[in-house]
Structure 1
C-alpha cells in the first residue's frame, strides 16, 4: 500500500480530490492539516469517502495553524461525525506524553523522531505505525504493522539549482521484503513546510518516472525555464519549462506513465494556458501518486 504524505494546503487537497474518482489501487493518503479553516479538508475527505477511500489524518499536526493547539483539530473534526477517516497521532520531539489520545479506540502512530523502548511499547497499542525509513533494522524488527516513509525529494533553495534529473527512491519496489505493510513519501513537495512560494525567477516542473532499466528506481526530471534575473512573467517561464517536458513525451525519451496529470500538462501545452504555479504543483503531485499506483498495480497483475 502506498501512503503519500500531504499537507492540508489547498492545491495538495485539490490533487487528492481529483485523484479520488480514478479508483487507484494501493493508494491511501496521509494528510497533516495546516489551516484552522478546515472547509477544504472536509470537502476532500468527503470526496475520498465517496470513492471508498478513508484517508489518515495526523490529528496533532506539528506545523501550521494547529501546531500549538494539539487537540483543536480533533475537536473540530468531531463536529463532522459522518466523515470516515483514520487517526494518526504524531510522536515528535515535542511529545511529552503518549496518552493524549488513548481514549480513541483505533489510532495509528506517525513517529517523527528516534524510536526508544517506550515508543516500541506504545506502538503495540496502535493499529498502524509509520516509522522513518532510516530507522535501524534491529528496531524495525520490533515494530509491527509498520509503514516506512521518508522525504526523498531533493529540494533545492532555488529552482535554478535543480539538475535535469535527480534520484528519488526504490522503496516502492522492495518495501514488502522488510515486512512492511506499506510505504510513504512526501511526493514532489518534500517535508519542508512554507505558507507560500517566493517570487518565480525560474519556473520548474517536477515530473516523476520509474526506470525499469535501472532496477525500477523512481527518478524526478526537473524542467526549468531560463533565469532572466527577474520574478516577472511566470506564464512565459512556465511555457519554457512545459515545452521541455512535452518534447520528452513526444520523443518518448523518458518512460513516463500515462497519467491524468501528464495529460493535463499536454492539454495546457495545446491551449497555451498558464494556470498558476499552485496548479502546476498540483499536476506534478497527481502524476507522482498515479505513477506509483500504476507500478504497484502492474506488480500485482
Structure 2
C-alpha cells in the first residue's frame, strides 16, 4: 500500500480530488494529509473521498500551517467587514469539516509528541479506531517503541523513516522517507536521477506500506515565489530494475523571473519530446501538461505542480498493481 504524504494546500488537494473523480487514484493509494489550512477545497476533497468510499488520513496535530488557528476562530463582533466575512467563511467550513470528520472513511494521523495521550483521549477521536502515528526521526522511533502507546490496538500504522527500526512495529510499519532531492534553484536540477526503490523493497523488510512526499519534498513553504527557472518533475519506472527515476525538464531563459509563460513553454517542450517516446504510462497529469503546451496555454506554477503530483500518484498506483 502506498501512503503519499501531502500538505493540505490547494494544489495538493486538487491533485487528489481530480484523480479520484477521474477514477485514476488506485485503490492501493491512501493519502495522508497534514492539515495546514481550513478551506473549501479541503472540505470538497474530503466530501469526494467519503462519497467514493475511499479512506484518507488527516494529520490532526500538524506542525506547520494555520489549521488549528482556523478551527478556533470565531466572531467577536468587533471586526471590520472584510475580517468578519473571512471569519464567517471559516465558520461555515468549520461546521462542514466537523460533520465530514465523523465519517468512517476519515482516519486520524498524529505526530508522536508529548501530548499524544491527550490526543488519543480527545472526544473528537473516540470513534476513530484506525490511527496512524508519524515518527519523524530515530529518537521518536525508540521512545515510541518503549512507550505505553506501542500496544494500543487503535494504532494501526507507524510511519518511520528508519528501515532498521521497522521490526519494532511489526505488522504496522510504513517506510516513510523523503525521496525528492530538492535543489536551491530550479536551474540546478540534472536531467535525470534516481528517485526511489521503496515500492520494491518495503514488503521485504516487513513493512505494510511505504510513503513519500511526492515530487514536493518535506520542506514546507507558506507561499511560493516567482522563480528564475521553471522545472517540471516527472517520475518513471526504470525498465530493468523496476526502480523509479525522475526527470527534470528545466526552462532555458533563466536570467530573470520575467515571462513565466515562455519558461513553461521551454520546459514543456522538453517534457513532451522525451515523454512521448519514453513514458510508458501517459497519465492524466502528464496529459494535462502536454495539452497546455500544445494549446500554448500557461496554466500557472500551482497547476504545473498539481499535474506533476497527479502523474506521480497515478504512476505509483499503477506500478503497484504488478508488484
What TM-score does the superposition give when structure 2 sets the normalisation length? 0.83
Give 3-state SS (helix, strand or coil) of 2:134's partner. Answer: strand
Structure-1 residue corresponding to 2:304: 280
Aligned-residue CA RMSD (Å)? 2.3
Match of 2:252 among 219, 226, 238: 226
CA distance in 2, matches of 1:187, 1:116: 23
**Structure 1 unmatched runs, 5+:** none
Q: Give matches, 1:161-240, under 5 Å.
A: 161-213=188-240, 215-240=241-266
What is the deviation of 1:265? 1.6
Give 3-state SS (helix, strand or coil) of 1:128's partner. Answer: strand
Structure-2 residue corresponding to 1:261: 285
Match of 2:116 among 98, 116, 121: 98
CA distance in 1, matches of 2:306, 2:70: 28
Flag the structure with higher helix content: 2
Q: Give matches, 1:95-174, under 5 Å.
A: 95-103=113-121, 104-105=125-126, 106=129, 107-114=131-138, 115=140, 117-120=142-145, 121=147, 122-125=149-152, 126-135=154-163, 137=164, 139-144=165-170, 145-174=172-201
Match of 2:269 among 232, 243, 247: 243
Structure-2 residue corresponding to 1:5: 5
Deviation beyond 3 Å, 4+ runs, structure 1: 66-72, 75-84, 115-118
Partners of 1:130 and 1:149 within 8 A in 2: no
Partners of 2:232 and 2:304 within 8 A in 1: yes
CA distance in 1, matches of 2:117, 2:70: 16
What is the deviation of 1:68? 7.6
Partners of 2:228 and 2:258 within 8 A in 1: yes
Decide which structure has the larger Cα Rg and report it. 2
Structure-2 residue corresponding to 1:16: 16
Partners of 2:141 and 2:160 within 8 A in 1: no
Structure-2 residue corresponding to 1:26: 28
CA distance in 2, matches of 1:60, 1:70: 12
Give 3-state SS (helix, strand or coil) of 2:29's partner. Answer: coil
Structure-2 residue corresponding to 1:54: 55
CA deviation profile, 1:180-223 (whole Å, cap 9, x unmatched): 1111100000000001222221011001101022x111111000
